Amino acid sequence: MTLHFDTNELIQISFTTSDLGAILLPWLKKGNIAAVSTITWSEFCNGPVTNTQKNVISSILSGNIIDFTKPMAETASFLFNSTGRRRGSHPDCMIAACAILSGAPLCTKNLKDFNRFVPFGLRLHSF
């Protein structure tokens, strides 16, 4: 199974003491795939984040950083317009669009902001 991660999850995973990190490693060893959009990757790199944290997350992702495409941009705009054009919400629309069009659930702690995309095809996952 491929699972997209939101920025808040990457931040949690990047700390060696995180519960999610302990859960994620066995999950990956079963052949599951962790992925993020380039939007999520950019938010994560905005930090503050150390090079070590960035390298750890990069190795967990194994190159599964999904380029943001024109269809994703159009889907993100549809989501933005369909959910009330909330100020500051466009990055979440972009992350949701990437997960929807990739056919992968999104793992996030930020359910409040992402639940509104469920009627438009977003599937949410939590550990």
- pLDDT mean across residues, the chain: 93
% of the chain exceeding 70 in pLDDT = 98
Bridge partner residues of 92 (DSSP) = none
Three-state secondary-structure class, residue 5: strand
- Taking only the tens place, the pLDDT of each residue in 52-79 is 999 989 999 999 999 999 999 999 999 9
Instruction: Tell which phi-psi region holds residue 78, choosing left (phi > 0), alpha (psi between -120 and 50) or beta.
Output: alpha
Number of domains in the chain: 1
What integer pLDDT is reported at residue 51 of this predicted model? 94
The mean pLDDT value for 20-48 works out to 91
Q: For residue 15, give its domain range.
A: 2-125
CATH of residue 69: 3.40.50.1010
User: Is residue 16 very low, low, confident or very high in pLDDT (cuts 50, 70, 90)?
Assistant: low
